[in-house]
Amino acid sequence: MIHIFDGAIGTMLQSAGLKPGACPELINIEQPEIIQAVHRAYVEAGAMILETNTFGASALKLAHYGLADRMAEINTAGVAAAKKAAQGKAKVAGSMGPTGRFIQPLGDLDFEEAYQTYYAQAKALAAAGADYIIIETSIDLQEMRAALLAAKAAASIPVICQLSYSEDNRTVTGTDPQTAAITLDALGADIIGVNCSLGPEQLVPIVKILADNTDKPISVQPNAGMPKFINGQTVFPMTPKDFARWTPALIEAGASYIGGCCGTTPKHIQAIAKAAQNCSEPPRKQSVPQLKLTSRSQTVAIDAALPTVWIGERINPTGRKKLAAEIKAGSLLSVKKEAIDQIKAGAALLDVNMGIAGINQAQAMKRAVTEIAQITAAPLVIDTSDAAALEAGLRAYPGRALINSVSAEPERLKTFLPLARKYGAAILCLPITAEGVPDTAEKRVDAVRSILEAAKNYGLKAGDFLLDGLVMTVAADEKACRETLRTLQLYRQEFGYPTTMGLSNISYGLPNRPLINSTFFAMCLAAGLDAPIINPYDEMMKNTLAAGAALLGKDPNGRSYSRMESNLKVPKQAAVAKPAAMDTLAAIKAAVIDGEKERIENLVSQAIDEGNDTNTITEKALTAAMNEIGIDFGAGRVFLPQVLLSAEAMRTAFLKIKELLPAQETAKLGTVVIATVKGDVHDLGKNIVAALLANSGFALIDLGKDIESSAIVSAALENQADIVGLCALMTTTMTQIDRVVQALKEAGSNAKVMVGGAAVTQEYADNAGADAYAPDGVAAVRLARQLIKKD
């Protein structure tokens, strides 16, 4: 059966005389007859489900009108109005809309406050007799999670979850329909759908993706097209006929609950009700249950038929004192760095372990999960033995996480499985029993079977399980490897669920552990390992995986493997150049121009061995290089970062010269005092100029940023500066240049003044009485030389 929802309420209220700026939900109490009339019109049009006029009736929204304390009353009246109009001919869905704020860390609303708000509203709606709760127009998966968890806790009626997608087919905070369907299905939504933002045509593909990723019924409530502004009014342009034309396509795509959102009227609903009469319920192909995990914006599937998935193990303070100390001190910087680096290295899931003695693990897990989710799209694995930490992590995570791990120990089953069910998490099944680690494959299969049975009793099902093969040390038990391999094979035969395990335990106590690990890894891949938990920086394991995938047919014709191998063979640029063939000074010059500081130290030593003194190396190689770079930069052939690489190479050269010939003082071209002027906190540009000058033979005194003119003057006098360099980035700060020029003159300084910075121009420099204007650092070097020569 196709269920027909109603259409928009807001537009009808406006035409019934609701004043702009008034609280639309207060009408439920003050003029219930208006609401009833709207509902009645929809019943007459053929609506089978009426949505209550309570979209904005959460305490958080009502607070805008000073009505938060009337929340229950307004929701109760909303349900009553709908029921009265329905007269038993239609069901009533209690509507809950967004709070209007983003949940932390995206915004400033605490998850628990959002939860409590929705809980109270859902409770009121259910108590008043609603048949469904409908959470709709949500643009953020995390807000939807808070509302859904609250609605499930507050009431035992079915919950409909509808997100809104933008034109890029993602919600505002980045969730795609597949990820939404998987996450909300697991979290217990009864009907999953989409409403608002787009018209029916654009929603067809979204409905299709939702239907392909959940067995739950799909609902859809499009707008009547995209809004236009005509004659002073916002209008949704689709006629009932145009709108209803999409009904068969929406049903075909998988929707069995259809209604309208903004701009739809009873006529639209009548038209779709009529169009739906000729449609039968959409054929929903039973999806093969696959283990799928999600973050806010991505889905990762683990399955024997799919490429091997890497679970990064590095976010774990066990045995890592520095990391543990940092987390204990409240910093997650290294944790976040590990997250970014592991994904870059190829991890698709990240294990998060906060097992440090003496800290509040629940708090640490919540924070880690929250912050990692802000910078990565990889789904997370909550790795803990502490039930409180597990719940904190699962609750905070805006996706479907994996729990690492659930063993066959009764206490673990009792505490972890209800949490997996409540938060829609998948579980890693670890075959450890109250008696310890089973030594044979058969006993491990038995242990896993008992975990699966218990899990199914809590409502978990196929697609929720990842089985651990359990790795013991081969040095202690020569059968360890073979039992693990047999375990993997038996898992596949007995259960067919995907498998995982940490590998490195196998080689404990043996020499050349990487060789043992990678060999073992290859065997496991052949035996059916789908998602190893590993250190993704381990190149040997990465290579083994690539070769293994080619051998096992997961990389057809070894294409990826071949590509990887050919990339490795690309010769590095440095290897192509032949410095040996060149004169050493010429080679130094070339290395500076190419910005190759790795090569320059040896070249400098070589030049000194050949009897060159400091000044020769500086003039013939370094300065000559800088001159050439300056010309190329001026001509637009090289760019700032390349110039800076050359400066880095020069710096390396000077440091080496100083190290090898400490007695030989490099002749200085002159002394420059440089500063960013008072009021200006930019210093990168000034730093660049200073670095280029210093590496071109000038003695540099860098005073820093935001420097008083008096400090600049005294530094110029004290150091007998030849040049004072002033940097000002903004129109508001460059007036300081005039002041410094004036003060230098008054103090009797003979220093030339060179100025620069984004807002400064030649004209401004001239008017301020500066001796030179440098548009960039390279020009500054050239001009500084000229200023010195003039003396």
Residues of the shown chain interacting with another protein in the complex, contacts defined by CB under 8 A? 100-102, 105-108, 139, 164, 166, 172-174, 196-197, 226-230, 234-235, 262, 296-297, 333, 336-337, 340-341, 344, 373-377, 595, 638-642, 644-645, 647-648, 651-652, 679-684, 687-688, 691, 730-733, 758-759, 775-776
CB of 127 to another protein, least distance (A): 29
Closest residue by Cα to residue 672 from 722, 737, 727, 744: 722
Separation of alpha carbons 744 and 771, rounded Å: 12
CB of 5 to another protein, least distance (A): 19
Give one word for 197, left, alpha or beta, with left for phi > 0 and alpha for psi -120 to 50. Answer: left
CB of 173 to another protein, least distance (A): 8
CB of 524 to another protein, least distance (A): 31
Separation of alpha carbons 613 and 411, rounded Å: 77
- In this structure, are strands 291-294 and 772-773 parallel, antiparallel, or unpaired? unpaired
Closest residue by Cα to residue 776 from 647, 590, 624: 647
Separation of alpha carbons 476 and 471, rounded Å: 12
Kindly state the greatest CA–CA separation across the chain.
105
CB of 183 to another protein, least distance (A): 16
CB of 71 to another protein, least distance (A): 18
CB of 106 to another protein, least distance (A): 6
Residue 767, CA atoms < 13 Å, CB-side half-sphere: 8
If the CB atoms of residues 139 and 753 are measured against another protein, the closer one turns out to be: 139
CB of 21 to another protein, least distance (A): 12
- Report whether 543 contacts 345 (CB < 8 A): no
Separation of alpha carbons 454 and 729, rounded Å: 67
If the CB atoms of residues 27 and 372 are measured against another protein, the closer one turns out to be: 372
If the CB atoms of residues 420 and 728 are measured against another protein, the closer one turns out to be: 728
If the CB atoms of residues 227 and 307 are measured against another protein, the closer one turns out to be: 227
If the CB atoms of residues 174 and 222 are measured against another protein, the closer one turns out to be: 174
If the CB atoms of residues 173 and 584 are measured against another protein, the closer one turns out to be: 173
| φ/ψ (deg, to 5) at 220 | -145, 135
Separation of alpha carbons 414 and 429, rounded Å: 14
CB of 305 to another protein, least distance (A): 28
If the CB atoms of residues 53 and 342 are measured against another protein, the closer one turns out to be: 342
CB of 49 to another protein, least distance (A): 22
Separation of alpha carbons 753 and 773, rounded Å: 9
If the CB atoms of residues 47 and 688 are measured against another protein, the closer one turns out to be: 688
- In this structure, are strands 255-258 and 426-430 parallel, antiparallel, or unpaired? unpaired
- Report whether 672 contacts 693 (CB < 8 A): yes
Sequence-distant (≥ 6) Cβ neighbours of residue 51 within 8 angstroms: 5, 6, 9, 82, 93, 95, 134, 136, 259
Sequence-distant (≥ 6) Cβ neighbours of residue 571 within 8 angstroms: none
CB of 547 to another protein, least distance (A): 25
If the CB atoms of residues 362 and 781 are measured against another protein, the closer one turns out to be: 781
Cis peptide upstream of residue 105 (ω within 30 degrees of 0): yes
Give one word for 14, left, alpha or beta, with left for phi > 0 and alpha for psi -120 to 50. Answer: alpha
Structure tokens at 247: 């009904």
DSSP classification of residue 505: G
- In this structure, are strands 291-294 and 299-302 parallel, antiparallel, or unpaired? antiparallel
CB of 297 to another protein, least distance (A): 7
If the CB atoms of residues 481 and 727 are measured against another protein, the closer one turns out to be: 727
CB of 263 to another protein, least distance (A): 9
CB of 103 to another protein, least distance (A): 11
If the CB atoms of residues 210 and 650 are measured against another protein, the closer one turns out to be: 650
Separation of alpha carbons 208 and 571, rounded Å: 48
| Residue 435 burial (C-beta neighbours within 10 Å; 0-12, 13-18, 19+) | exposed
Q: Dump the DSSP string for 382-415.
A: EE-S-HHHHHHHHHH-SSB-EEEEEES-HHHHHH
Q: What is the CA radius of gyration of the chain?
A: 35
Sequence-distant (≥ 6) Cβ neighbours of residue 458 within 8 angstroms: 417, 418, 420, 421
If the CB atoms of residues 25 and 464 are measured against another protein, the closer one turns out to be: 25
If the CB atoms of residues 492 and 651 are measured against another protein, the closer one turns out to be: 651
What's the Cα-to-Cα distance from 529 to each of 307, 464, 516, rounded to whole Å? 11, 17, 17
If the CB atoms of residues 442 and 683 are measured against another protein, the closer one turns out to be: 683
